[in-house]
Chain A
Amino acid sequence: MTTQALYVKESSDDQLERYSFAERIWHWLGGLSYTYCMLSGLALFTPYLYWLAAVLGGGPTARFWHPWVSLVFLATVLWMYAKWLADLRITDIDHRWVEHINDYVTNRDESLPPQGRFNAGQKVFYWVMFWAVLVLLVSGIVMWFPEWFRPNFHFILPIAVIFHEAAALISIGAIIIHIYMGVFMEPKSLRAMIHGRVSRAWARAYHRLWYERVTEGTSTEK
């Protein structure tokens, strides 16, 4: 099959648009900015990773960009909030999904309840990142401008650092799972986030409720 044909095919009716162009831009912007923040953050987190700072332009550069880039990440999280809030609401289905989390982890997806646009795992991931980013924001501002704090308020600084690190570690945990799920466990997700489209079958299999919603009245397939 030619590449030409591939593209034709991809734009054909057996594919559904999973992520719009804007959504994909925002997602990858988030991904990149998060990665930068994570790497530069990790450089400062432990001496054993300080060499990461060199990769990112050296310590002062990493220190300079980290807070600015984090603002980009914050923006993406907020954009997603505005765009996807409806799809991210935790519902009863999610509770049932969570009850069957073992089945999901062990790839017995057939016993899982049908899911909307995002499954409960994805929603939880978002909300973890959402709250983490708020904590990172507040503590990060403190850490960004330590000189604002007169000595009487210096006690705030280590508190901020602890919160910042804790939130960052939690978000890193979440991101490990996110990347693992998206890239390895469910490669279609990665493709979807790159190309924006998924097959109807895939959609029906993993996000049946979403599939039904988007196909209702537009398709008689299957």
Chain B
Amino acid sequence: MSQATLGIRRISGHAGPAPGEDVERAEQVCKLIDTTTCIGCKACEVACLEWNGYTFTDTVFDNSYQTMPETAWNYWNLIKFNEHEREDGSITLLMRKDQCMHCADPGCLAACPADGAIVQYTNGIVDFQQANCIGCGYCVTGCPFDIPKFNPATKKMFKCTLCVDRVSEGLEPACIKSCPTGCLHFGSKDDMKGLAETRATQLRENFGFAKAGVYDPAGVGGTGVIYVLHDVTNPEAYGGLPKDPRIPLLVRLWKGPVKWLGGWSMFFGVLGVAIHYLRYGPKIPQDGHDNRDDSAPGHRDEGVKP
């Protein structure tokens, strides 16, 4: 068994604070994806599958280089190919590696009801613990990026672990290592933000991409996977990257006010009937037949006479 361990910042479905919250300081790890240098080679897809050892699935050609329509429980990262027509009518191929974004404020974790099924380590990696997963799929509900996927055979949810087994041993994630052009880069969040901003500036100043920028959406507290986009104003063009991803309002509502409201309502409901009992007690028939003693356990209705 691995000796590697990581502190935990958040735990899903957990009563009270996470054991590691606010007690450990750790560098936030981050994956930088520069879509402007992605060549859609899918090395990251293969490296991921090889490292994690998952089974193969039959795929079908679908008028695209894309391996499959979306990520799968056993296919955690996927290059999305988009033939995109520029304003001047010229064509371009936008390619974006889609995978778990490792949000600072993870919707999956917020939505998950199972204690310890989703954790966020102190280094920022959001990881599913299949042993604790109950397969309810709530994480799908909470994720604005449509990442968690259900394995029908084991009834567990799966997604990219950011190769936490490698990272905890001091290695970089498998996809990062394999990426031939260096479109994928790994390091601390601060460093990656710096690199990304530098690259975006370079794209704006030297390569004519006036709208180049960094995608690190604030709606989910920033992400542990950030993108450099040629056109940061149109992330949807990159295979449906949401412009302003947030944990759905309904999920916030459900995990917040509804819980409190529901919990307290139940509590007060029980309390209410108890007080009522104390105040009014059980019912006694008005037609003279005394049934009161029946309320006591062990008593039988010998008093009931026709």
Contact = CB atoms under 8 A, between A and B. Distances in A.
A complexed with B? yes
Contacts of A63: 114, 134-136, 155
B273 A176 contact: yes
B250 A162 contact: yes
A60 B250 contact: no
A188 B115 contact: no
A212 interface: no
B266 interface: yes
B77 to A, nearest CB: 15
A200 B306 contact: yes
B248 A221 contact: no
B182 interface: no
Contact of B254 (A105, A149, A161, A191): A161
Given A50-B113, A107-B281, A161-B250, A60 B135 contact: yes
Contacts of A149: 140
A106 B13 contact: no
Given A176-B270, A180-B273, A50 B150 contact: no
Contact of A62 (B134, B287, B305): B134
Contacts of A45: 113, 259, 262-263
B262 A188 contact: no
B283 A47 contact: no
Nearest to A203: B285
Interface in B90-137: 113-115, 117, 132-137
B138 interface: yes
B301 interface: yes
A99 to B, nearest CB: 19
A78 interface: no
Interface string B132-161: 111111101111001001101001000000
Given A45-B262, A155-B248, A199-B304, A205 B115 contact: no
Interface string A44-75: 11111010010000011011100000000000
Contact of A169 (B134, B136, B265): B265
A62 B304 CA distance: 44
B202 interface: no
Contacts of A47: 13-16, 113, 115
A173 B304 contact: no
Contacts of A159: 250
A62 B135 CA distance: 10
B152 A60 contact: no
Contact of A165 (B146, B152, B258): B258
A6 B300 CA distance: 8
A87 interface: no
Nearest to B150: A147
13 contacts: A14-B304, A50-B15, A105-B276, A105-B280, A107-B280, A109-B286, A147-B140, A147-B149, A157-B138, A162-B254, A177-B269, A200-B306, A201-B306
Interface of A: 1, 6, 9, 13-14, 43-48, 50, 53, 59-60, 62-64, 105-107, 109-110, 143, 146-147, 149-151, 154-155, 157-159, 161-162, 165-166, 169, 172-173, 176-177, 180, 184-188, 191, 199-202, 204-206, 221-222
